[in-house]
Amino acid sequence: MSIPQLIITEFVPLAALTSWRIGGTARYLATVRSPAGVAEAIAFADARMLPVWILGGGSNMLISDDGLPGVVIRMRDMHVDIKQNADTAEVHIGAGAPMAGTVRQLVNAGWSGMAWAEGLPGTVGGAVYGNAGCYGGAMADTVQSIDLWRAGCLDTVLPATLGFGYRTSALKRHAVPQLVHGMHVGDILPIVVGATIRLTSADPVQLATELAETAVLRKGKTPQGSSCGSVFKNPAGDSAGRLIEAAGLKGYAVGSAVIAERHANYIINRGGATSADVRALVSHIRAAVAAHSGVTLEPEVQILGEEWPFNA
Ligand SMILES: Cc1cc2nc3c(=O)[nH]c(=O)nc-3n(C[C@H](O)[C@H](O)[C@H](O)COP(=O)(O)OP(=O)(O)OC[C@H]3O[C@@H](n4cnc5c(N)ncnc54)[C@H](O)[C@@H]3O)c2cc1C
């Protein structure tokens, strides 16, 4: 039985689809499993003059308590195609593939080059969008090419064209909810639908050790509870966590959103936190850190359905 490439459901609570467990309801949730599904979902929104948002794994976003009054396209193309050529492989991965699970699959098959991403939450598409990185690796240095859906067409581009920077890309810098209807097709922002990665074969035992070491490092640094990972980018030459801790903010809470004791750049939802709680806490942290150290922190996490209460 074939799996439908697009499923549209109405009035879908989004909190459970995010790692923060925060956010209201999507008017429509379009679950897509292929680029063709993306095109159909865009056409669906266009016909109803509704804005579009893209949802990957929901591990780096804060969704408004009021929800998203349009079409949320949830990327679920999770294919992983490995083309082996002697001791290298070209791997084509769907944008909805989970980073952590895909990395483990490739490492278990003896392929080296992605072990840095062991345990990284979210999807391949979300990782490209924000140039996710950790433990010596980053998406910008890992992908060979990126497949984009833009202006109604599929396009394959080189990483150099995506303006990658520290936890950012041209896609992220220009992010706006996309009102497709009436827009010039060239103005519709690209959607990542897949990526190709080149890997080399390596000793499986050594790879497994590398993976296990990364897992231990990550576990040691990650606070328990629902979060979006690091809320702020690290300023050049410093760490946002250190600055927040130095401002005496560990444990500080607004409503049910609290700054983690283990890692001050994490905000934990200790149960029932709202988007308003998190926005107020983010504002407080920025003001307190600026007053204490003169540094203005910039959020890493994306906000959907509203804006940060400051000029980010
Ligand atoms: C516990 C924890 C630890 C973390 N550790 C790290 C870490 O070590 N390093 C790191 O870099 N990040 C880390 N993060 C943050 C997060 O994992 C990454 O930012 C991840 O790449 C986000 O992917 P996602 O699929 O969940 O994106 P989402 O949260 O779903 O989306 C984030 C943004 O990307 C856009 N987007 C998503 N998919 C696409 C697409 N296919 N095309 C176009 N736009 C898209 C969304 O619209 C949104 O604006 C952590 C998060 C958690 C919860």
Domains defined for the chain, CATH in brackets? 6-75 (3.30.43.10), 80-176+185-221 (3.30.465.10), 240-304 (3.90.78.10)
3-state helix, strand, coil in the chain (%, to 5): 30, 30, 40
d(CA 201, CA 98): 21
d(CA 94, CA 279): 32
Ligand 1 nearest atom to the CA of residue 96, by list position: 41
Which residue among 31, 60, 74 has the greatest number of ligand 1 atoms within 8 angstroms of its CB, and so is best to mutate? 60
Q: In a 3-state reduction of DSSP, which class is residue 178? A: strand
Which residue among 64, 77, 103, 129 has the greatest number of ligand 1 atoms within 8 angstroms of its CB, and so is best to mutate? 129
For the segment 243-268, what is each residue's pLDDT rounded down to a tens digit?
999 999 999 999 999 999 999 999 99
User: Would you say the CB of residue 55 lies under 6 angstroms from ligand 1?
Assistant: yes
CA atoms within 13 A on the CB side of 63: 27
d(CA 183, CA 225): 41
User: Would you say the CB of residue 60 lies under 6 angstroms from ligand 1?
Assistant: yes
Model confidence at 1, pLDDT cuts 50, 70, 90, reads low
CA atoms within 13 A on the CB side of 249: 32
| pLDDT value of position 183 | 53
Which alpha helices (DSSP H) does the chain contain, by range?
35-48, 99-108, 124-130, 139-142, 170-173, 204-221, 240-246, 275-293
Q: Is the pLDDT of residue 222 over 90?
A: yes
| pLDDT value of position 171 | 87
User: Would you say the CB of residue 121 lies under 6 angstroms from ligand 1?
Assistant: yes
Angstrom CA distances, 11 to 67, 72, 180, 242, 281, stand at 9, 11, 20, 40, 28
Query: 301, 236, 232, 302: which is closest to 264 by C-alpha?
Result: 232
User: Would you say the CB of residue 228 lies under 6 angstroms from ligand 1?
Assistant: yes
Ligand 1 centre and the CA of 57: distance in Å?
Answer: 7
Please work out, in degrees rounded to the nearest 5, the angle formed at the alpha carbon of residue 14 by the alpha carbons of 234 and 128: 40
d(CA 67, CA 299): 20
| Ligand 1 atom 17 nearest Cα | 121
Q: Is the pTM of this model over 0.85?
A: yes
Model confidence at 187, pLDDT cuts 50, 70, 90, reads low
Q: Is the pLDDT of residue 170 over 60?
A: yes
Model confidence at 176, pLDDT cuts 50, 70, 90, reads low
Name the residue with tokens 């709202």. 274
